[in-house]
Structure 1
Amino acid sequence: MRTRRDVLATTGAVGAGLLAGCASSGGNGGESDGDDTAESTTTRDLVDVDVPDDPDVTPVESLPTPVRGDPDAAVTVQVFEDYACPHCATYATEVMPRLVESYTQPGEIRYEHHDFPLPVSEEWSWAAANAARAVQDALDDAAFFEYTHTLFAHQDAYVGAGATGYDYLATVAADLGADLGADATTVVRAAKGGKYDPVLKADRQHGRDMGVRGTPTVFVNGTATDSPGYDAISSAIDEARST
């Protein structure tokens, strides 16, 4: 299946302002804007996993929300992302690390990842999210966030990469350590078979109920930030902490 990269400069109104990001439309036939996707620097050999294109999997109906930071913090940051959205890659590689350093590691916030497959790509918005949830299910939230960060940092290693994209998903899983349970074959089976689709669809519906129309969208204590940039999110966190 060919990847469709339907990337817009802005999305519809969400909360108090317009969010730069990705939105689904039928328009541009697979092109990206070319500026925000993190470049892949992968030079290692890829793990070759022999998994049929339509594997028989048992769907998983529910899975806990991936959380980092203090789960009981007074301030909750919710981020809705699509793994094929280049703006989400920019957020994940440039904004999120600063939030982790400033707020998550000190235990000032509860940080939640939410899946919102628009989908930017009919294949990879779902496949990469399924792979990441398989890692979460096999290991823990810490492994999930490590895996997710790597995928966003090397987004072009799977989006638009054809069959080798699944080899990349397998390689990143294998790097986490098969002895820890992140079996590459299991991850790719989940990615190809849509094992966690019910979880992703429920997350997407939750986002829609909150007013999400594009990715990335960030909420602080239930209120959408003016943008997914660090300054806007940081200001919202600081204001929430002071009230």
Structure 2
Amino acid sequence: MRETPTRRQVLAAAGVTGIVGLAGCTGGGSTPTTDGQGGGGNGDGNSDGGGDGNGSEETPAGQLSPPVRGDPEADVTLAVYEDFACPHCRDYSENGYPALAEAFVDTGQIRYEHRDLPIPVLDPESFEAANAARAVQTRHGREAFWTYADALFANQDALGSETPGLYAEVAVELDYEGEPVRTDAVDRAYTDTVMGDRQRGIDAGVEGTPGFVVNGEVVTSGFGDSTVETVRSAIEERL
């Protein structure tokens, strides 16, 4: 009898499968290509490592720690897996995150992590944009990462048509170094970090972006009208 591949096996081989009931990025791009790309960098960009039993494990050697908001030592961790080319991630960033931030991040009740999961929606832009953001993290710190990430989402429509110059332009507009960010994006200097996050999300069971994982357990994947309340409930159950 021929063995039927599991959902996780399909995810690992070809991106991410479809999800039901929510809008999310779940494929449509090509299979990831990482040949000839660089390593993961070796600094933490003023980020905070995990390893405290709240779903945020130790960062593997050679990979950057995830950018963190809120209380790095909180008992509850919300990790959000995103693709910078995914329109649903942009929608969440602009219309979903502020409510969660007000309720849990700004009050220091949770540890909030960004995790990369390039589907890819665009290839190579999904990978390049993630590397660009990590380049900013390394050179300018954690808060700079979040500022740059927000700007990438705001300029999402230009990915593909104005890249790779866009990575430098956005950096310069924010008073960060431009050319090093563009170079690291094109060279995928943080491939180990980006692809390590991607595999971590797949292994956890994330089925699309944005994917929401609370203390190591997938709560939901995709973004829709009920997402914030679903995530809110999951957090409150663990507080």
Q: Normalising by the residue count of structure 2, what TM-score does the alignment of the two structures yield?
A: 0.75
CA distance in 1, matches of 2:122, 2:136: 21
Following TM superposition, by how much is the alpha carbon of 1:57 offset from its aligned partner in structure 2, in angstroms?
6.3
RMSD, matched Cα: 2.3
Indicate the residue corresponding to 2:185 in structure 1.
191
How much does 1:24 deviate? 1.6
Alignment of 1:215 onto 2:218: no
Tell me the amino acid that sits aligned with residue 237 of structure 2: E
- Map of 2:48 onto structure 1: none
Query: Percent identity among equivalent residues?
Result: 43
Equivalent pair of 2:29/2:121 in contact (CA under 8 Å):
no
CA distance in 1 between counterparts of 2:111 and 2:142 reads 13
Instruction: Give the distance between the partners of 1:141 and 1:19, measured in 2 at CA.
Output: 30
Instruction: List alignment gaps of at least 5 residues for structure 2.
Output: 1-15, 31-35, 42-61
8 Å CA contact 2:84–2:129 kept in 1: the answer is yes
- Which residue of 2 is the match for residue 24 of structure 1? 27
- 2:77–2:110 contact (8 Å) kept in structure 1: yes
Contact 2:28–2:120 under 8 Å retained in 1: no
Q: Return the offset for 1:59.
A: 5.3
C-alpha change, 1:102 and 1:209, in structure 2 (3 Å) is: same
Give the letter aligned to residue 170 of structure 1: A
Aligned length: 195
C-alpha offsets along residues 176-234 of structure 1, whole Å, 9 cap, x if unaligned?
32xxxx31000000111111111111111111110123111101122222454211111
What is the aligned partner in structure 2 of residue 83 from structure 1?
84
State the TM-score, normalized to the length of structure 1. 0.74
- Unaligned 5+ segments in structure 1 are 1-7, 28-54
Q: Distance in 1 between matches of 2:97 and 2:107?
A: 14
After TM superposition, what 4+ stretches of structure 1 lie above 6 angstroms from structure 2? 55-58
Counterparts of 1:39-78 in structure 2 under 5 Å?
Answer: 60=41, 61-78=62-79
Deviation of 1:240 after TM superposition, in Å, equals: 1.4
Q: Distance in 2 between matches of 1:224 and 1:59?
A: 25
Judged with a 3 Å threshold, the aligned counterparts in structure 2 of structure 1 residues 165 and 72 are, in CA distance, closer, same or farther, namely: same
SS in 1 for 2:96: helix
